[in-house]
Amino acid sequence: MPSQVAAMPAGSCSPADHALAEEAARHAAEIAEKLGLPTDTAAEAARRLALSRCANTQPPEGPLRLVAETAVALAKLGYTGTAIQLARLLKRKKSDIHAALQALAARQLAALDSLDTILCLPHEALPQSLEDLAEATREAIERLLAEHPKLEAARDPATGLPVAAYTRCPRCGAPIETRTGPAGCPRPGLRVEQRCPSCGWTSSYTVCKPPPCSITLEEGCRPDNS
Ligand SMILES: [Zn+2]
């Protein structure tokens, strides 16, 4: 009766989703080793969590959930994580690099703002220095922005969320129209829309304050949690 991991076809998972799962598995195994948990099981738990949306796999429970959630959050950071996130966005944005870069910059910067709440485990349990990973993420975004001078990051005065928007159309260089509005996330969020009246290029994305880790250390480590 209890729903064990259903082996669902992973048809809707992209290669980038699988890359994220493998990075998460690598982080999870290292965290598990530090915590004295089985590394293979932790790696598999992180894979399942990373693919839970596209492959409909059941997320793990108990201490492994803590490890898996932290590992998936870490897998989205750094140079590799930023590259994987760009690949995932390119698929969703139908390979429009400009639209993907906008969403990537805003979301990675939003994740950096919330690092203390999105990770489930204390820094000591992490496989590598969180500061290094955060620095690499920030640097990756700054360099991407530097290569695209028409794309600028700023903060929305109302929500404080990072926003990335083009100052001119990335396709034809004409003046561009920008609109922002509420995103409809359960937490503070923003929807950003840009449209070029000259060539018709459009882009939209949402950036929301990332959800905090959904499980606490006490909950996850309750020894009699069956
Ligand atoms: Zn244009």
Rounded distance from Cα 168 to ligand 1 centre (Å): 8
The dihedral built from the CA positions of residue 17, 19, 22 and 23, taken in this order, carries a sign that is negative
CA 202 to each of CA 99, 156, 178: distance values in angstroms, whole numbers, following the listed order: 8, 20, 10
When pLDDT is cut at 50, 70 and 90, the band that residue 33 belongs to is very high
Rounded to the nearest 5°, which phi and psi values hold at 163? -130, 135
Residue 188, class by beta-carbon neighbours within 10 Å (0-12 exposed, 13-18 middle, 19+ buried)? middle
Selection from 29-33, 181-185, 221-225 with the highest mean pLDDT: 29-33
Phi-psi group of 62: left, alpha or beta (phi > 0 → left; psi -120 to 50 → alpha; rest → beta): left
Rounded distance from Cα 195 to ligand 1 centre (Å): 8
pLDDT score of 4 more than 60: no
When pLDDT is cut at 50, 70 and 90, the band that residue 216 belongs to is low
Rounded distance from Cα 21 to ligand 1 centre (Å): 36
pLDDT at 215: 64
Angle at 73 between CA 81 and CA 164, to 5 degrees: 60
Rounded distance from Cα 173 to ligand 1 centre (Å): 6
Q: Tokens in use for 155?
A: 């903060």
